Amino acid sequence: MNVASVSNLPAGAVDLFEREGITELYPPQAEAVEAGVTTGENLVASVPTASGKTFIAQLAMLSAIERGGKALYIVPLRALASEKAEEFQEFESLGITIGVATGNYEDRGEWLAQKDIIVATSEKVDSLIRNDAPWIDDLSCVVSDEVHLIDDPERGPTLEVTLAKLRRLNPAVQSVALSATIDNAEAIAEWLDAALIDTDWRPIELRSGVHYGDALHYDTGDTEKLSVQPNENPTAAIVRDTLQDDGSALVFVNSRRNAETAADRLGETVSSELSVEEQNELSELADEIRSVSDTETSSDLADCVARGTAFHHAGLTSEHRSLIEDAFRDRLIRTVSATPTLAAGVNTPSRRVIIRDWRRYDGSIGGMKPLPVLEVHQMMGRAGRPGRDPYGEAFLLAKNHDELDELFDRYISADPEPVDSKLAAEPALRTHVLSTIASGFVTTRSGLFSFLSETFYASQYADEEHLKSIIQRVLRYLTDNGFLTQSEESLSATSLGHTVSRLYLDPMSAAEIIAGLRSAGSGSISALGLYHLVTRTPDMYELYLRSGDREKYTEIHYQRETELLGPAPSEFDESAFESWLSALKTARMLEDWASELDEDDITERYGIGPGDIRSKVDTTEWLLGAAEELAAELDLSLTTSIRRARRRVEHGVRDELLELVNIRDIGRKRARKLYQAGIETPEDLRTANKATILSALDGREKTTEKILENADRDDPSVDDVQPDDANPADHTMSPELSDTTDNNSTSTKSDDQSHLGDFS
């Protein structure tokens, strides 16, 4: 089927596609058109990566807009939201507007009412429904990308409930679900009342197999010699062979530390294949990476990039990850070593994929566990880019002949696992039951059961009594904590329950915060106490305790016990007390950040990456904002202390710099330099000697003028102004600014927090 034969698209859409070289539809895309994707029919497309799933979604959204509607594209990750929104920008030439919504769970997103296509994470869509976003009712097409993530215990329930709510809000909405190839795609199609396209077709061949000895063993039964040279490991041998064929390689490993080590070791293999021009471009990219973050992780990444390799994991900042992904797509960076984060839908194809580690640590069993088949197939699907690669290849690595056979049986010849709903878990249900009642979706027990009967869980399992028993426990918990009131049949959220739902808090987090704030009474409340309170909620991933940490943080616990909010568990309750100490470790990290300890020192001390710091800071800022609203709701006189602690962690500064960091373009380091030069307030920026200010800002004239303009100085120009060398700012942090630090810290960079946020 050629694209010109597709009807119901906006004027100019076919011309746009043809200019991009899209003249013929792939078989799955043609099948989607025949199934009615451009006439409003529901559709589930279960097809391999790189087989044109996104184009199917585009056809659905464009035809919905042509019918006068609005389209919503739901993604699992914030990074993927930005990527898809950028991809859809091309439709602006057709007069179609694009909006992206990923953060601020209290925002109703009224501005999105003016957009034709809205890209958002499932959590953001859920929050928009809770906050009664007015444009939700106008949706005529909802696309759910990576819908198989309904199987994910963390994100799956939110996606499932969100899709069920959207369908109830607008029964006529077109549902389009995109998935990797899964075992029970027909079950999802049945739930969504959708036609199913289930195929293994790919535009270019994907060959998979296992490397063992000196050969590649393919799924076809063929073998190909690929020798491992002396002092070379199998991964390096495959990468070398790939680069010599002008390809790129993506290596999947099981931890951050392994990703960094593998990238470093592959530098020698890759650098020898680089041209002088590529070396120069990589040197410039390395400088850009160093400028993102002043940490050892950033420096190590830049060193790798200069040699044509990179590592990719959740410990990197979003800026780091974006730079790496773009350079890898452009094949400037030739090899990336990554944790499975990179397999989760982000567009990073390569000629070859090497799955070096097919087991990873699972804390629930205290040991290594094989990866799911679906996850391995997702990694393999990164191999091969249409129009760039003649083929794609993906390999696992075997150490012996028995493992060769095991890997073929476990992964190469195996079908992916079925997708199973994770909704019937109490942590998921307490959140979604409260929001469903608070948003007015249901007002009775029977209404609640009726709504939940429309979920994927209910379509999969006939055990209604099991679900009802869990719901009864959840309702009792929500009532006992003051979030709901209930009679024999009616259900209604209290004012506090409405607030908790609007703030997008797990009710258990809200209960923990409320109990902690009430325990403070009207007394003083420290930043550490507040950081510790929010870090021990279910909405925060704590740093885990390493060897020696239990003794260290037990001592800190007793030293600062009076600052901590709420009763500490008994030391004899090992699990509860260890969780308390893990939260204390996380709180100390946040306190160090808010006391202006250098980012590099924090990453070294706690064994984390710069991305972890920013992730924890963002979550803490959100939870403290919620705590501030809860304190106001309960009429507790703590809002000023909470707001100050929140702003300190937001900006990473001590109290005295809070006024300065309110000025745009003044961060924690510039604020400290200005303060040490005697510039302590915005008023000082408007009146102080310009030479002193210029000196404090390292003589950077453009930066100084921009800051003075932002501070509303009458004449921000520093033309002909010389830095005041007689009164230079002390640009180093004075010892008293590090009063929360521990000079006896034994933290090392090799202490890996790899299980934290790798799938965020």
Q: What is the DSSP string of 342-364?
A: GGSS----BSEEEE---EEEETT
Residues 22 and 163 in one domain: yes
Tell me whether residue 370 is in a domain: yes
Mean pLDDT (whole number) for 514-521: 92
**Mean pLDDT of the region 2-10:** 96
Count each helix (H run) and each strand (E run) in the chain, helices first: 30, 19
Instruction: Answer yes or no: is 585 within a domain.
Output: yes
- For residue 243, give its domain range: 206-412
Token pair listed for 441: 């979706």
Whether residue 248 is found in the same domain as residue 387:
yes
Query: What pLDDT does 345 receive?
Result: 61
User: Can you state the angle between helices 610-633 and 507-520, rounded to 10 degrees?
Assistant: 70
pLDDT of residue 728 exceeding 70: no
Q: Which of 606, 604, 569 is nearest to 590 (CA)?
A: 606
Mean pLDDT estimate for the chain:
91
Instruction: Report the run of H or E that residue 735 belongs to, with start and end.
Output: none
Mean pLDDT within 467-476: 92
Q: What is the pTM of this model?
A: 0.88
Q: What are phi and psi of 323, to 5 degrees?
A: -60, -40
Q: Does some domain include residue 500?
A: no
Q: Is the pLDDT of residue 134 over 80?
A: yes
Segment 295-322 shows an average pLDDT of 93
Closest CA to 126 of 155, 152, 84, 100: 155
Q: Are residues 307 and 194 in the same domain?
A: no
Are 118 and 137 spatial neighbours (Cβ–Cβ below 8 Å)?
no
Classify residue 566: in a domain, yes or no: yes
pLDDT of amino acid 731: 43
Instruction: Clarify whether residues 234 and 304 are in a common domain.
Output: yes
| Pair 108, 229 in one domain | no
CATH of the domain at 293: 3.40.50.300
- What 3-state class would DSSP assign to 394? strand
For residue 15, CA distances in Å to 98, 254, 608 come to 20, 45, 49
| Lowest-confidence region among 19-23, 107-111, 685-689 | 107-111
Structural domain includes residue 661:
no
In the block, tokens 């199998």 appear at 234
Residues 571 and 460 in one domain: no
Check whether residue 245 and residue 179 sit in a common domain.
Answer: no
Q: What is the CATH number of the domain that holds 440?
A: 1.10.10.10
Tell me which of 165 and 367 has the higher pLDDT: 165
Query: Where is the domain boundary, 177, 198, 219?
Result: 198
Residues 576 and 602 in one domain: yes
Q: What is the number of domains present in the chain?
A: 5
560 falls within a domain: yes
pLDDT at position 522 is 67
* Euclidean distance between CA atoms 351 and 373, whole angstroms: 21
The pLDDT, as a whole number, for residue 131 is 87
586 and 622 fall within a common domain: yes
- Residue 750's pLDDT band, with cuts at 50, 70 and 90, is very low
- Angstrom CA distances, 258 to 255, 266, 683, stand at 5, 12, 50
Is 489 within 8 Å of 608 (Cβ atoms)? no
Residues 492 and 441: their CA atoms lie apart, in Å, by 11
Percent of the chain's residues with pLDDT above 90: 81
> Is residue 63 domain-shared with residue 194, that is, in the same domain?
yes
- 652, 680, 705 - which closes a domain: 652
Positive or negative, the Cα torsion across 337, 343, 348, 352? positive
Give the Cα separation of 45 and 178 in Å (integer): 5
Domain CATH code at residue 531 = 1.10.3380.30
pLDDT at 616: 96
- Measured CA to CA, the distance from residue 345 to residue 378 in angstroms comes to 8
Q: What does the pLDDT read at residue 748?
A: 37
With respect to residue 760, please indicate whether it lies within any of the assigned structural domains: no
Looking at the domain assignment, is residue 564 inside a domain? yes
Q: Strand pairing partners for 154? A: none
State pLDDT tens for residues 590-648.
Answer: 999 999 999 999 999 999 999 999 999 999 999 999 999 999 999 999 999 999 999 99
Are 56 and 81 in the same domain?
yes
pLDDT band at 725 (very low <50, low <70, confident <90, very high): low
Q: Which of 438, 470, 494 is a domain's end point? A: 494
Is it the case that residue 341 has pLDDT exceeding 90?
no
CA distance linking residue 671 with residue 365, whole number of Å: 47
Q: How far apart are CA 328 and CA 350, in angstroms?
A: 8
Read off the tokens for 433. 């039951």
Q: Which two tokens stand for residue 414?
A: 């195996």
The answer to whether residue 732 scores a pLDDT higher than 70 is no
Considering the domain architecture, whether residues 128 and 269 belong to the same structural domain is answered as no
Six token digits for residue 74 = 């739901």
pLDDT at 730 over 80: no
Paired tokens of 749 = 């960079």
User: pLDDT tens, 522-562?
Assistant: 667 999 999 999 999 999 999 989 999 999 999 999 999 99
- Please tell me the number of Cα atoms within 13 Å of 119 on its side-chain side: 23
- Residue identified by tokens 């601020």 is 104
- Residue 251's SS3 state is strand
Minimal CA–CA distance to 617: which of 558, 535, 504, 510? 535
Q: Which residue has the tokens 């306190």?
A: 591
d(CA 173, CA 141): 6
